[in-house]
Amino acid sequence: MEANGQKSFMKLEVIWKDDHMFELRVTASNGRYSGITEVYDTTESLAAFANSLYGFPQHDGVLVHEAGEIDGYAYFQMKFCPFGNAGYISVQVSLEENIFPPYREIEKVKLKLEIVVERHAIDVYQKALLQLARKQEGAVTLYGRDN
């Protein structure tokens, strides 16, 4: 499904870094809904997730990466789940706006969407994500099957 010519994707881009962490701008769209957040992550955490994606899905497991804290300053989750016999992967993306905790929870913008991707897209994404985590710079995009 497409709205205004937009197709499904998830993009992670490093927008700031220091010696201990970096900040990611995460943009995601399933063609109809889209959102952006900015969240802090670490090389160790993101690289470990990227390594776990190698060869996915070799089994019927689910892989999850989270950054930030639910109902905290900002939050991002990507959850990879295989489904069907055609080799498709469901990528469920949860985003929470970066807003300071003193604000009421109801004021915080939250979005959860699904992107369906092909197995080959995971292989390409895994390599690029590992590179981004190690270098703490650049951007990586996972494209949905409608791209």
Kindly list the structural domains of the chain, giving each domain's residue range(s) and its CATH number in brackets, ordered by start.
Answer: 9-143 (2.30.31)
Among 42-51, 67-76, 79-88, 95-104, whose mean pLDDT is lowest? 95-104
Q: What confidence tier does 4 reach under pLDDT thresholds 50, 70, 90?
A: low
Tokens 């639910």, residue? 70
What was the pLDDT predicted at 3?
52
Q: What confidence tier does 71 reach under pLDDT thresholds 50, 70, 90?
A: confident
| pLDDT-above-90 percentage for the chain | 77
Is the model's pTM score more than 0.75? yes
What was the pLDDT predicted at 59?
74
